[in-house]
Amino acid sequence: MQVTQQTRPTRRPTASCSHWKMPSFATVSSRSKVTVADCGSVFGVERIHFVAFSATEWKLLQPIILDVERLSNGQVIVSDDVFRLFGAGAGLERALHDYETTLVDFYISVEAGVLAGRPGRERALTRLSAYMTRVDSSQSGA
Amino acid sequence: MAPRQSDIERSLRTKFHFQDSLGKGHDHICIERNLPNGSFVWTKFSRGTREVPKALQAAIARQIGVRRDDLMRMVGCTMSEQQYLAIAEPPQY
């Protein structure tokens, strides 16, 4: 797990981020069952660690740091710096669910691009594979 | 007035030659474009025609390697495809 000093929380989370738990991980979303941890703020930017998929077919191999942006209309946008992906929705849970869906869509798209010989996809898939993998259903007990 | 997501998508497809990405998206429309340096950019849109607020414009712009005001120029037809390819910042992977 790659956690730098910069990503450590500097203050207690706001009331809207009630799933604070440090240092262990916490399941925070009943709707999406996306697991995040380490809610906090760095230089005024709210950050969380995406640490597990709700979808049982996928496994996250290392956390992805997400910036959280809360809009005045209640919309929330979460985004990462690794793949430049984002998720949006009415509230954090929906935004996280959207992000998870996007991450899976991106993986499937890149994987298909590799098979089709499209340029740049192999490098992207290598990077993605450092963060996520499919779960072998025969081993997952599903 | 904020652009609609269908306007942004249509502009990227018709003027900047973004294409459907391979693989099946969940609830999204996913499009991508190869960049000259052997990299590519990928972005997604929700289905629908609602207006895209500034923060989402910025997130979409970031995915395709430009700033929000550049994306607005792309949608407003004041940026050419060549100009876009010259400034698009490839992702770090």
ipTM of the complex: 0.92
Give the residue-averaged pLDDT of A106-115.
95
How confident is the model at residue A90, as a pLDDT?
Answer: 94
Whether A67 and chain B come into contact, CB under 8 Å, resolves to no
Chain A residue with Cα closest to B63? A84
Q: Would you write out chain B's pLDDT as a tens digit for each of its 93 residues?
A: 789 989 999 999 999 999 999 876 667 899 999 999 899 999 998 877 788 999 999 999 999 999 999 999 999 989 999 999 999 999 987
Q: What share of residues in chain A are helix, strand, coil (percent, to 5)? A: 30, 30, 40
Q: Of A82 and A38, which is predicted with more confidence?
A: A82
In the predicted model, is pLDDT for residue A16 greater than 70? Answer: no
Closest CA to B13 of B75, B62, B91, B89: B75
B81, two tokens = 């495809």
Are the Cβ atoms of B93 and A73 closer than 8 angstroms?
no
Helix axes B5-14, B68-75, angle to 10 degrees: 70
Chain B residue with Cα closest to A67? B59
SS3 category, A51: strand
Give the residue-averaged pLDDT of A80-107.
95
The mean-pLDDT minimum among A9-23, A25-39, A103-117 falls in A9-23
pLDDT in tens, A29-64: 444 455 666 566 666 678 999 999 998 899 999 999
Are the Cβ atoms of A105 and B30 closer than 8 angstroms?
yes
CB burial of residue A96 (10 Å; 0-12, 13-18, 19+): buried
Are the Cβ atoms of B23 and A84 closer than 8 angstroms?
no
Whether B36 and chain A come into contact, CB under 8 Å, resolves to no
- Burial letters B19-52, b for 16+ CB under 10 A, else e: eebbbebeebbbbbbbbeeebbbbbbbeeeeeeb
- Burial letters A50-83, b for 16+ CB under 10 A, else e: bbbbbeeebebeebbbbebbbeeeebbbbbbebb
Specify the pTM: 0.81
How confident is the model at residue A71, as a pLDDT?
Answer: 92
Whether A88 and chain B come into contact, CB under 8 Å, resolves to yes
Are the Cβ atoms of B55 and A108 closer than 8 angstroms?
no
The mean-pLDDT minimum among A10-14, A119-123, B43-47 falls in A10-14
The confidence band for A118, taking pLDDT boundaries of 50, 70 and 90, is: very high
Are the Cβ atoms of A113 and B22 closer than 8 angstroms?
yes
Percent of chain A scoring above 70 in pLDDT: 65
Whether B33 and chain A come into contact, CB under 8 Å, resolves to no
Measured from the Cβ of residue A44, the count of other Cβ atoms closer than 10 Å reads 7
